[in-house]
């Protein structure tokens, strides 16, 4: 089974400050590259193609040696709402004055339940 990775558009790419290659993700999470790929396949992380290379993941999705708490569940909700990976990234990184900040900022601040609730509303 091959890993299908979407090509990101320039506008969405610019919303993310720092990107990690799959080997960098594996190193930060203390995993093999195969296990890091599995995180993408299982939709616990989002990886997109930013050029000709392999998938890259926003660095803010990793905290210490773990995926940020609440992110995998939010990604599942966005996928269930019909968002593809690029649309999900755009939504996660677009500032929202009512949060304040972006949804990914709120997730990192421990407000993932609120963000998931908002993501669920997108599907209706």
Domain ranges within the chain, ordered by starting residue: 10-122
Which pLDDT score is estimated for 1?
43
98-108 average pLDDT score: 92
Q: What is the mean pLDDT of the chain?
A: 91
The CA-CA-CA angle for residues 110, 60, 4, to 5°, reads: 115
Q: Is the pLDDT of residue 7 over 60?
A: yes
> Taking phi first (over 0 means left), then psi (-120 to 50 degrees means alpha), and beta for anything else, what does residue 82 get?
left
pLDDT at 21 (0 to 100): 95
**Helix/strand/coil for 41:** helix
Q: What are the start-end ranges of the H helices in 1-124?
A: 10-13, 22-29, 33-41, 71-80, 85-93, 103-108, 112-122
Residue 23 pLDDT = 96
> Residue 86: pLDDT above 90?
yes
- Which sign does the torsion angle of CA 94, 81, 43, 66 carry? positive
SS3 84: coil
Q: Beta-carbon neighbour count of residue 55 at 10 Å?
A: 23
């Amino acid at each position: 089974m091959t890993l299908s990775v979407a090509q990101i558009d320039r506008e969405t790419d610019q919303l993310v400050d720092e990107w990690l290659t799959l080997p960098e993700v594996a190193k930060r999470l203390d995993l093999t590259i195969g296990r890091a790929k599995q995180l993408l396949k299982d939709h616990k992380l989002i990886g997109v193609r930013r050029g000709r290379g392999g998938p890259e993941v926003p660095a803010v999705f990793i905290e210490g040696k773990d995926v940020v708490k609440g992110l995998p569940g939010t990604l599942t909700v966005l996928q269930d709402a019909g968002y593809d990976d690029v649309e999900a990234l755009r939504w996660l990184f677009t500032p929202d004055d009512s949060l304040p900040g972006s949804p990914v900022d709120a997730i990192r601040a421990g407000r993932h339940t609120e963000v998931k609730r908002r993501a669920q509303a997108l599907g209706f």
